[in-house]
Amino acid sequence: MSIAEKRGYGQLRVSGNEPTIGKEHLLRLLELVDETDYEFILETSGVLIDKEYADQLSRSRNLHLRICLKGTCKEEFSMLTGSVPEGFELQLEALENLLDAGVSTHIAVMKSFSCEENFEKLLLHLREIKSSLYVEEEYVTLYPLVIERLKTVRIKPFVAYDRSGRSCKLP
């Protein structure tokens, strides 16, 4: 918070390494943030957010969730995460749980590895869940470690950007 205050930021964010794993820690952090005027943005895949967890998160007055979908379908999710395909559905269930609990939420979709047809199918499904849901499109940035990982798992993005924001291909 001291950094945000020094720089005049109005938002705080936790992202990476699935912050919902440390449930007790996260809920305590949200209690502390609620004592401030900062908006707290939590980035998560959502796979751990069941109805009870969503209800607990709904108690935070300053929380906004950004559910980051890896891909647009079960197969893409599995390819990108190395996890079981059913994990993709857990993300969508989390979305419904959060919306039912009244938590401010939007979706970010990693489109770099998706064809347009799969993206359109996902959008239709998301509109069935909530017609006014904001869906953010996300694309991979080819940092050196990202390039290394993609080559290791033999995945090539359809669309990617370099660090300066220019469209590029995987070398």
**pLDDT score, position 68:** 95
CA-wise closest residue to 109 among 67, 164, 162, 80 = 67
Tell me, yes or no, whether 126 and 68 share the same domain: yes
Tell me, yes or no, whether 133 and 168 share the same domain: no
* Cβ atoms within 10 Å of 15's Cβ, excluding its own: 12
Tell me, yes or no, whether 129 and 147 share the same domain: no
Per the structure, the complete domain to which residue 130 belongs is given by 2-138
CATH of residue 26: 3.80.30.10
Tell me, yes or no, whether 67 and 50 share the same domain: yes
Tell me, yes or no, whether 77 and 145 share the same domain: no
**pLDDT score, position 16:** 81
Residue type, 117: E
Tell me, yes or no, whether 134 and 145 share the same domain: no
**pLDDT score, position 74:** 96
What CA–CA distance (Å, rounded) separates 138 from 81?
16
**pLDDT score, position 171:** 80
Residue-wise pLDDT tens for the chain (171 aa)?
889 999 999 999 988 889 999 999 999 999 999 999 999 999 999 999 999 999 999 999 999 999 999 999 999 999 999 999 999 999 999 999 999 999 999 999 999 999 999 999 999 999 999 999 999 999 999 999 999 999 999 999 999 999 999 999 888
Number of domains in the chain: 2
**pLDDT score, position 170:** 84
**pLDDT score, position 156:** 94
pTM for the predicted model, two decimal places? 0.90
